[in-house]
A and B are shown apart, each in its own frame.
Chain A
Amino acid sequence: MDVLMPQLGETVAEGTLTIWHKAVGDTVENGELLFEIGTDKVEMEVPAPVSGVLTAINVEAGATVDVGAVLAVIDDGKSDAASPATTPVASAPAASNASAVSRTPTRHPSLRLSPVVRKLVVENNLDPAHIPGTGRDGRIKKSDVLAYMKGAPAVQVQTTALFEPLKPPQSTPPVAPLKSGAGRTVVPFNRIRQMTAEHMVRSKTVSPHVAQGVEVDFSSVDKVRKEKGGVWRAREGFSLTYLPFIARAVCDVIKEFPNINSHVEADNLVVYDQVNLAIAVDLNFQGLVAPVIQNASAMTAVEIARAVADLAGRARSGELTQEDHQGATYTISNNGSFGTLFTTPIINQPQVAILSADAITKRPWVVNVGGEDMMAIRPIGVLTQSFDHRAIDGAYSAAFLRRLKEIIETKDWGAALP
C-alpha cells in the first residue's frame, strides 16, 4: 500500500517531511507513528495507515513534497508492493542507514544546547532564550524544556493553527532576551500566541471590519432549555447551552443569505453550499483555537450541540486533529459566560463574517399583547456580527441579522429537541 502525503488543509499544497520514525524493513502497526510533517501552518504526526512491513521510503527527511505524493510503501500482504511507482529514489540511503537519516533538526545559532534540547526546541518552535536553564552554568536541560512546555500548555496542542499565516514564520535575528525581575515578568509568546497575533494583525489589515449588533429575545429558546435541560444533562452529560440554537439558526439564515458563507480569494467571493462552522474555544486563557463543525448545515440542533461539546472537550485536552481545523466557512465566538454586553470579533480569514454571542440576561422588554404595549421580563442578548466590507455591504449583513433574530425568536425549538 502506498503511503501518501496527506492533505494538510484546503490551502496547503505541499509540506516538508521532517522525520521518519521507521526505516525500510521495519514492521509497522496500523496507527503507529510513521513520520512527521510540517508546513507553515502546522506540525503533524502521521500514523501508519495499515499494518505491514515498510518496504520503501521514497522521500528523505527534509524534502518538501506535494500533497498526494507517494512517500513510502507498506507491504500489508495484500497490495502489490513492487509497483514501479514505489521504487526508491536514487538518492535514498541504503536501508541500513535509513534510521539515521531523519534526525537532523536545524541548529540554533547562539546557545550551546544538548542534542535533545536542540531537537525539542526545533520541533516545538520554541525560543531557547526564553527557557530558564537549571543545569550547571544555567544550561538548559531536557527537563527544563519539558517543564517550560508544560507551563505553557497551549504549546502542546498538536495542531495549533487557528489561522493560516500569510507567509512562513520568519526567522528573526537574535536579540537580547527580555528578562523577568524588578517587578515585571516576561512571558514569551508561545506558538498559538504568535500565530494568533500574526493573524489578527493581518485580518484587520486586509479586511475593513464593520460590526453590527442586534438584540434578540431568547424566550423561546429559554423555554425549551428549562423544559428539557435537566433530562438533556442527565442523558448527554453536558449542559444544553444557547450556542447550538444560535448555530442552527445561523445555518438556516445562511440558506437565505449565502454570501455570508464565503471566502475572499483574489478579488473573488467564493460562496460555499455547505456551512462548516468554526467555534472559537478558549483554552483556559492560554490561547484560542477555532475547531470546525464540518457540514453543520446538515445537522440538527441536537447534533450541533454534541459536536460543540466534543470539539471543545478535545480542544482543551489537546486532542484536536488536522481535520478539525479545516475548511471553516463561518465562525461563531461565544463570550456569554463572562457577562459581556457585546464583542466586536475579528474575522477568521479568509472568511467574510464572524458572529459574537454575548451574555443573555433578563431585562425589561416591551412586548405587544393583544394590540397593547406592555412591559415584560425577557432573556435578551446581543448578537454582533463583524463583516468584511470588501465582500458584503451593511444592508446585506443587517438583513442577515434581522432574519437571524427572527428565527431564534420564533422557531419551534421544542420540535427540534427530542
Chain B
Amino acid sequence: MAELTYREAVAAGIAQEMERDETVVFLGEDIAKAGGVFKATVGLYDKFGPDRVRDTPISEQAILGAAMGAAMTGLRPIAEIMFSDFLAVCWDIVSNQIAKSRYMTDGQVSMPLVIRTANGGGARFGAQHSQSVENWSMMIPGLKVVAPSSPADVKGLLAAAIRDPDPVMFFEQKSLYATKGEVPDGEHVEEMGKARVVRDGDDVTIVALAAMVPRAVEAADRLQAEEGISASVVDLRSLVPLDTTTIFNEVGKTGRLVTVEENPRLCGWGAEVSSIVAEERFWDLDMPILRITTPHIPLPSSEELEDIALPSVARIFETVRNEVD
C-alpha cells in the first residue's frame, strides 16, 4: 500500500490503464504539459507523449466531440471537462449523442469513453464553478455515474470506468483533491455499482457520496461519542448503477435512512434513493426518510455563506440527533 492524495490517484489510475491498453488516450484543457489545473494529471504527458495525452483548445464541445469520434473508431478516450459546471455547454453531445448511440445503432456502436470532471463546492469558486451536478447525469439513460470518496476508489473506479464498454461520467470532488489515503499497490480495479458500508451502525443509516462521505463518517463518530447513536454510513460510490441491495440491507437493519447530498435539493440523487426505499422497503422504515442537502440556491462565493450552504459535519450531526428518537 502506498499513501496517495486523491489527485495523485487520478494520474495513477490513468497511467495504469494507459500502460495496460494502448488504445487509451487522454485529452482536455491544460491536462498535458500543465498537468491539469488541479494538478491531477501531472506526469502523464512526460510518460505517454503528445499523441496519447493531448491539450485541446478551450472548447468543451470540441473535446467531447473528438472523444466521441475516437470512441466510435476504436480508441478508449478519457476526456476531461475542467469544471463539471461546463458540462452544460456540451449537454447535447453528452445526453443526445454519447448516451444514446449504443441504443440507436442497435448495439453496432459502443461508446467506451470516460468523462472526468472536477465537481462540487468548498473552494470559493462561486456559482459557476462550484456546483455538484452528479444528479444531472444520473437522470439520463445511457450514462453511468461514478463519484469516488477516497484515493483508492479514484484509482480503482477510474480503471473500471476506462475498461467499461459504455460512457461513464466520472466526478472527482474538488474539495477532496488534497486528501490522502492508502491505495493498493500494483494493478487496482474496483467494480462499479457496488456501494460500501464504511461505518457499521445499528440505529440509523446515513447514505452519502464523494465529499459527503468523510463528513458523514465524522458526524457518525460524534453521534456515537456524544449521543450514543450508532450510525452506519454507506458510500454509494456510483449513482448508476445504484447498489440498492446494500442500501436495503442497511435500512432493513436500522429502519432509518438519512441521505447526505452536495447537489441542490430539488431532484438531487437522495430524492431518488428515498423514493426507491419508500417504494420497496416501506415496511422496514421506523422513521420518515431525511434528506440533508445543499439548498436550492446558486452557491455563494463568500466563505461563510458557502460553508453554511453545503452540508457540514455539524449539520449532519444535529439533524440526525434531532430526528432520531
Q: Which residues of A contact B (CB under 8 A)?
A: 99-100, 103-105, 114-119, 135-136, 139, 141-142
Chain B: minimal CB distance from A102 (Å): 9
**Most chain-B Cβ atoms within 10 A of its Cβ — which of A99, A116, A119?**
A116
Would you call the interface of chain A mostly helix, strand, loop, or mixed? helix
Contacts of A139 in B (CB 8 A): 325
Q: Which of A100, A104, A114, A136 contacts B285 (CB 8 A)?
A: A114
14 contacts across the A-B interface (CB closer than 8 A): A99-B280, A114-B255, A114-B285, A115-B282, A115-B283, A115-B285, A116-B255, A116-B283, A116-B284, A116-B285, A116-B286, A119-B283, A135-B325, A142-B255
Chain B: minimal CB distance from A93 (Å): 13
Given contacts A114-B286, A142-B286, 12 further A-B contacts (CB under 8 A): A99-B280, A100-B280, A103-B282, A105-B283, A116-B283, A116-B284, A117-B286, A119-B283, A119-B284, A135-B325, A136-B325, A139-B325
Q: How many residue pairs bridge A and B at CB < 8 Å?
A: 32
- The reply to whether the CB of B279 lies closer than 8 angstroms to some CB of chain A is yes
In the complex the two chains form, is A141's CB within 8 Å of B286's CB? Answer: yes
Nearest residue, chain B, Cβ from A142 = B286
Q: Which residues of B contact A (CB under 8 A)?
A: 255, 279-280, 282-287, 325
Q: Which 5 A-B pairs have the closest CB atoms?
A: A135-B325, A136-B325, A142-B286, A103-B283, A119-B283
Contacts of B325 in A (CB 8 A): 135-136, 139, 141
Nearest residue, chain A, Cβ from B288 = A114
**Most chain-A Cβ atoms within 10 A of its Cβ — which of B279, B280, B284?**
B284
Nearest residue, chain B, Cβ from A19 = B283
Please measure, in the bound complex, the distance between the C-alpha atom of A378 and the C-alpha atom of B283, giving whole angstroms. 63
Chain A: minimal CB distance from B84 (Å): 33
Chain A: minimal CB distance from B286 (Å): 4
Contacts of A115 in B (CB 8 A): 282-286
Please measure, in the bound complex, the distance between the C-alpha atom of A100 and the C-alpha atom of B280, giving whole angstroms. 6
Please measure, in the bound complex, the distance between the C-alpha atom of A99 and the C-alpha atom of B284, giving whole angstroms. 14
Please measure, in the bound complex, the distance between the C-alpha atom of A69 and the C-alpha atom of B287, giving whole angstroms. 39
Please measure, in the bound complex, the distance between the C-alpha atom of A115 and the C-alpha atom of B251, giving whole angstroms. 12
Please measure, in the bound complex, the distance between the C-alpha atom of A101 and the C-alpha atom of B240, giving whole angstroms. 25
Chain B: minimal CB distance from A27 (Å): 13
Please measure, in the bound complex, the distance between the C-alpha atom of A100 and the C-alpha atom of B282, giving whole angstroms. 10
Please measure, in the bound complex, the distance between the C-alpha atom of A115 and the C-alpha atom of B252, giving whole angstroms. 12
Chain A: minimal CB distance from B312 (Å): 24
Nearest residue, chain B, Cβ from A136 = B325
Chain B: minimal CB distance from A25 (Å): 14
Contacts of B285 in A (CB 8 A): 114-116
Contacts of B279 in A (CB 8 A): 100
Chain B: minimal CB distance from A35 (Å): 15
Please measure, in the bound complex, the distance between the C-alpha atom of A103 and the C-alpha atom of B285, giving whole angstroms. 12
Contacts of A105 in B (CB 8 A): 283
Please measure, in the bound complex, the distance between the C-alpha atom of A206 and the C-alpha atom of B247, giving whole angstroms. 54
Chain A: minimal CB distance from B319 (Å): 15
Chain B: minimal CB distance from A3 (Å): 23
Please measure, in the bound complex, the distance between the C-alpha atom of A99 and the C-alpha atom of B285, giving whole angstroms. 16
Chain B: minimal CB distance from A150 (Å): 15
Contacts of A119 in B (CB 8 A): 283-284
Nearest residue, chain B, Cβ from A118 = B283
Contacts of B287 in A (CB 8 A): 114
Please measure, in the bound complex, the distance between the C-alpha atom of A152 and the C-alpha atom of B325, giving whole angstroms. 24
Please measure, in the bound complex, the distance between the C-alpha atom of A135 and the C-alpha atom of B285, giving whole angstroms. 14
Contacts of B280 in A (CB 8 A): 99-100
Chain A: minimal CB distance from B229 (Å): 12
Please measure, in the bound complex, the distance between the C-alpha atom of A296 and the C-alpha atom of B196, giving whole angstroms. 54
Please measure, in the bound complex, the distance between the C-alpha atom of A115 and the C-alpha atom of B277, giving whole angstroms. 12
Nearest residue, chain A, Cβ from B203 = A143
Nearest residue, chain A, Cβ from B278 = A115
Please measure, in the bound complex, the distance between the C-alpha atom of A416 and the C-alpha atom of B271, giving whole angstroms. 72
**Most chain-A Cβ atoms within 10 A of its Cβ — which of B282, B283, B285, B325?**
B283
Contacts of A104 in B (CB 8 A): 283
Please measure, in the bound complex, the distance between the C-alpha atom of A99 and the C-alpha atom of B252, giving whole angstroms. 15
Please measure, in the bound complex, the distance between the C-alpha atom of A142 and the C-alpha atom of B325, giving whole angstroms. 11
Please measure, in the bound complex, the distance between the C-alpha atom of A44 and the C-alpha atom of B287, giving whole angstroms. 28
Chain A: minimal CB distance from B274 (Å): 14
Please measure, in the bound complex, the distance between the C-alpha atom of A142 and the C-alpha atom of B324, giving whole angstroms. 12
Please measure, in the bound complex, the distance between the C-alpha atom of A100 and the C-alpha atom of B285, giving whole angstroms. 15
Please measure, in the bound complex, the distance between the C-alpha atom of A136 and the C-alpha atom of B322, giving whole angstroms. 10
Please measure, in the bound complex, the distance between the C-alpha atom of A115 and the C-alpha atom of B288, giving whole angstroms. 10
Nearest residue, chain B, Cβ from A102 = B283
Please measure, in the bound complex, the distance between the C-alpha atom of A117 and the C-alpha atom of B284, giving whole angstroms. 8
Contacts of A136 in B (CB 8 A): 325
Chain B: minimal CB distance from A124 (Å): 14
Please measure, in the bound complex, the distance between the C-alpha atom of A118 and the C-alpha atom of B280, giving whole angstroms. 16
Chain A: minimal CB distance from B78 (Å): 35
Chain A: minimal CB distance from B100 (Å): 23
Chain A: minimal CB distance from B227 (Å): 14
Chain A: minimal CB distance from B162 (Å): 31
Please measure, in the bound complex, the distance between the C-alpha atom of A358 and the C-alpha atom of B135, giving whole angstroms. 74
Please measure, in the bound complex, the distance between the C-alpha atom of A119 and the C-alpha atom of B282, giving whole angstroms. 10
Please measure, in the bound complex, the distance between the C-alpha atom of A135 and the C-alpha atom of B255, giving whole angstroms. 14
Contacts of A100 in B (CB 8 A): 279-280
Chain B: minimal CB distance from A277 (Å): 41
Contacts of A117 in B (CB 8 A): 286
Chain A: minimal CB distance from B268 (Å): 23
Please measure, in the bound complex, the distance between the C-alpha atom of A103 and the C-alpha atom of B252, giving whole angstroms. 13
Chain A: minimal CB distance from B125 (Å): 41
Contacts of A142 in B (CB 8 A): 255, 286
**Most chain-B Cβ atoms within 10 A of its Cβ — which of A105, A114, A118, A139?**
A114
Contacts of B286 in A (CB 8 A): 114-117, 141-142
Please measure, in the bound complex, the distance between the C-alpha atom of A135 and the C-alpha atom of B324, giving whole angstroms. 9
Nearest residue, chain B, Cβ from A123 = B283
Please measure, in the bound complex, the distance between the C-alpha atom of A141 and the C-alpha atom of B287, giving whole angstroms. 8
Please measure, in the bound complex, the distance between the C-alpha atom of A105 and the C-alpha atom of B287, giving whole angstroms. 17
Please measure, in the bound complex, the distance between the C-alpha atom of A39 and the C-alpha atom of B255, giving whole angstroms. 28
Contacts of B284 in A (CB 8 A): 115-116, 119
Chain A: minimal CB distance from B104 (Å): 24
Please measure, in the bound complex, the distance between the C-alpha atom of A119 and the C-alpha atom of B284, giving whole angstroms. 8
**Most chain-A Cβ atoms within 10 A of its Cβ — which of B280, B282, B286, B325?**
B286
Please measure, in the bound complex, the distance between the C-alpha atom of A119 and the C-alpha atom of B255, giving whole angstroms. 12
Please measure, in the bound complex, the distance between the C-alpha atom of A117 and the C-alpha atom of B287, giving whole angstroms. 10
Chain A: minimal CB distance from B200 (Å): 17
Chain B: minimal CB distance from A214 (Å): 56
Contacts of A103 in B (CB 8 A): 282-283
